[in-house]
Amino acid sequence: MSTLRTRDLIINIPERRDGFALNMTIEPGQVWGVLGPNGAGKTTLLHTLAGLLPARNGWVELNNAPVKELKRRAIARQLGLVFQERQDTFPATVMETALIGRHPWLSPWESEQGEDQALAEQALHALDVDGLSNRLLNTLSGGERQRVAIATLMTQNPDIWLLDEPTNHLDLHHQVKVMNLLRNQAQSGKTVFMCLHDLNMAARWCSHVLLLYTNGDACWGAAESMLVPEALERLYNQRLISLKKDGLSVFVPAP
Partner 1 sequence: MWWRPVTRALLSLGALALAAMMLALAMGSVTVPLPDLWQVIQGDGSALYRTLVWELRLPRAVAAFATGGLLAVAGALMQVLLRNPLADPYILGLSGGAAVGALLAMLAGMGTLLISGSAFAGAMLATLLVFGLAHGTGSWTPSRLLLTGVVVASGWGAVITLMLAITPSHKLPGMLYWLMGDVSYARTPWPALSVLVVSIALIMPLARNLNVLARGPMQAAALGVSVRPLEWSVYLLASLLTATAVTAAGSIGFVGLIVPHMLRLVLGNDQRVILPASVLAGGTLLVLADTLARTVIAPEQLPVGVITALLGVPMFLYLLHRSR
The nearest distance, CB 104 to partner 1, in angstroms, is 4
Min separation Cβ 9 and partner 1, Å = 19
In the chain, at which residue ranges do the beta strands (DSSP E only) sit? 4-10, 25-26, 31-35, 57-62, 65-66, 79-82, 160-164, 191-195, 208-212, 218-222, 240-245, 248-253
80 binds partner 1 (CB under 8 A): yes
Measured CA to CA, the distance from residue 16 to residue 175 in angstroms comes to: 33
d(CA 148, CA 178): 11
| Residue 179, CA distances (Å) to 146, 186, 200, 205, 217 in order | 13, 11, 12, 7, 27
Using the rule CB under 8 A, is 101 a contact of partner 1?
Answer: yes
- For position 87 contacting partner 1 by CB under 8 A, the verdict is yes
Q: Please identify, among the stretches 4-12, 82-90, 195-203, 219-227, the one whose residues bind partner 1 according to the rule CB under 8 A.
A: 82-90
- Minimum separation from the CB atom of position 12 to partner 1 (A): 14
- Whether 193 contacts 162, CB under 8 Å: yes
Q: Distance (Å, rounded) from C-alpha 7 to C-alpha 68?
A: 13
CB-nearer residue toward partner 1: 84 or 242: 84
Decide: helix, strand or coil at residue 224.
Answer: helix
Min CB(146)–partner 1 separation in Å: 14
Q: How many residues bind partner 1 (CB under 8 A)?
A: 31
Q: Is 89 in the site for partner 1 (CB under 8 A)?
A: yes
3-class secondary structure per residue, 127-189: CCCHHHCCCEHHHCCHHHHHHHHHHHHHHHCCCEEEEECCCCCCCHHHHHHHHHHHHHHHHCC
Residue 250 binding partner 1, by CB under 8 A: no
Smallest gap, in angstroms, from Cβ of residue 57 to partner 1?
A: 20
Nearer to partner 1, 32 or 105 (CB): 105
Q: List the one residue from 13, 21, 92, 140 that touches partner 1 (CB under 8 A).
A: 92
> Could you say whether residue 91 binds partner 1 (CB under 8 A)?
yes
**Binding positions for partner 1, 152-181, rule CB under 8 A:** 156
Binding positions for partner 1, rule: CB under 8 A: 47, 50, 52, 71-73, 75-77, 80-81, 83, 86-87, 89-93, 95-96, 100-101, 103-104, 106, 108-109, 111, 117, 156
